[in-house]
Amino acid sequence: MLLEKPLQANDVITIKLLTGEELLARFHSENENELVVTKASVIAANPNGMGMIPWMISARPREIKLNKQTVVAFAKTEKEIADKFTEMTSEIKMI
């Protein structure tokens, strides 16, 4: 059996909300009631195909606390997508 290691701070995760929205974000921490993330983004269509936009457009808080009652599921994001997320939300270029 393959064991997955627990999420660590700065892991890129995918979050599915009760509303149907799917977020990409950096994991910060969690407790019984909250999932704390940074750089929350959504995938959206653009003239060149697909891109990422901030989930909260009119505010850019350093951390976002999601009520776990509104979260259906969350998991570590696939490496290819996580690498693109990292490139788009930082100065780091993945090779």
- Model pLDDT for residues 2-28, shown as the tens digit of each residue: 667 889 999 999 999 999 999 999 999
Query: Which pLDDT band holds residue 1 (cuts at 50, 70, 90)?
Result: low
* CATH of residue 45: 2.30.30.100
pLDDT at 47 over 80: yes
Both tokens of 35, joined, read 């999932």
User: Within a domain: residue 91?
Assistant: no
Query: Among 86, 74, 69, 91, which Cα is nearest to 13's?
Result: 74
**Strands 49-54 and 34-46, bridge-based pairing:** antiparallel
User: Within a domain: residue 74?
Assistant: yes
Q: Is the pTM of this model over 0.95?
A: no
* Span 68-92, pLDDT tens digits: 999 999 999 999 999 999 998 887 6
User: Within a domain: residue 87?
Assistant: no
Q: What is the pLDDT of residue 93?
A: 64
User: Within a domain: residue 52?
Assistant: yes
User: Within a domain: residue 4?
Assistant: no
**Cα distance between residue 24 and residue 34, in whole Å:** 16
Domain that holds residue 20: 12-81
> What is the rounded radius of gyration, in angstroms, for the C-alpha atoms of the chain?
13
**Cα distance between residue 76 and residue 11, in whole Å:** 7
Q: How many domains does the chain have?
A: 1
User: Within a domain: residue 22?
Assistant: yes
User: Within a domain: residue 56?
Assistant: yes
User: Within a domain: residue 86?
Assistant: no
Both tokens of 68, joined, read 């776990």
Burial of 17 (0-12, 13-18, 19+ CB in 10 A): middle
